[in-house]
């Protein structure tokens, strides 16, 4: 219980020192929501501040909420070895707003930011090598966006006649079908079901 009070006190002190939209402490883990335009300064503060020392960046990921105005939520997970604690930092951006890269603060951010750019299309300013990391160079779109079509836009396959890999627009071989997943028992009345079960 004492450590939880210390975390609550630390969380409250963060509110007084840095711009924070919201802060929660759940099961001993602090989550702060911060403005996207100050993410670089906040991450630098959390790494260097004497009472924080979050020196290990364990993960960065993005979540797509298409119904929100700022649809992409970027989530940073930090660990402080000295204080044996973790913190989660969240920020949100829309489709056209860029966010500052933190690769100069944490080297491990490099590939995670590239993955978020490739999969979601969130642009990181001042990234030393922002290019696709999981999809092909000519790939169109960002496949982890919830509005990305399931079939994609292009098909990549090996052509036996040309003896090389070719990229072509998708041609669906069948029309869209609607599947009815209702139960066959719905078509029977209760009395008919009883009669069938007694046979």
DSSP per-residue letters across the chain: -HHHHHHHHHHHHHHHHS--SEEEEETTEEEEE--GGGHHHHHHHHHH-TTT---EEEEEEEEE-TTSSS-EEEEEEEEETTTTEEEEEEEEE-SS--EE--TTT-TTHHHHHHHHHHHH---EET-TT---SSS-TT--S-TTSTTS-TT-SEEEEEETTTTEEEEEE---SS---------GGGGS-HHHHHHHHH-
- Average pLDDT of the chain is 86
Q: pTM for the full model?
A: 0.75
Give the right CATH number for 2-198 from 3.30.460.80, 2.60.40.420, 3.20.20.220, 3.40.50.2300: 3.30.460.80
What residue segments make up the domains of the chain, in order of their start?
2-198
110 pLDDT tier (thresholds 50, 70, 90):
very high
Q: What is the pLDDT of residues 20-41, one digit of tens each?
A: 899 988 888 899 999 999 999 9
Query: In this predicted structure, what is the pLDDT of residue 178?
Result: 60
More confident site: 13 or 194: 13
């Amino acid at each position: 219980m004492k450590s939880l009070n210390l975390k609550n006190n630390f969380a409250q002190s963060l509110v007084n020192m840095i711009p924070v939209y919201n802060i929660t402490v759940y099961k001993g883990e602090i989550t702060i929501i911060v403005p996207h335009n100050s993410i670089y300064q906040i991450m630098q503060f959390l790494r260097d501040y004497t009472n924080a020392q979050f020196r290990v960046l364990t993960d960065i990921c993005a979540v797509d909420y298409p119904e929100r105005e700022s649809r992409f939520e970027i989530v940073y997970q930090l660990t402080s070895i000295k204080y044996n604690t973790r913190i989660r930092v969240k920020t949100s951006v829309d489709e056209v707003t860029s966010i500052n890269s933190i690769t100069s603060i944490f080297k491990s951010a490099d590939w995670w930011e590239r993955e978020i750019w490739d999969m979601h299309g969130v642009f990181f300013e001042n990234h030393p090598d922002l290019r696709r990391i999981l999809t092909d160079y000519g790939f169109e779109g960002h496949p982890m966006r919830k509005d990305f079509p399931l079939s994609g836009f292009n098909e990549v396959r090996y052509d036996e006649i040309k003896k090389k890999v070719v990229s072509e627009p998708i041609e669906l071989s069948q029309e869209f079908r609607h599947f009815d997943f209702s139960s066959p028992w719905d078509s029977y009345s209760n009395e008919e079901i009883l009669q069938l079960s007694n046979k």
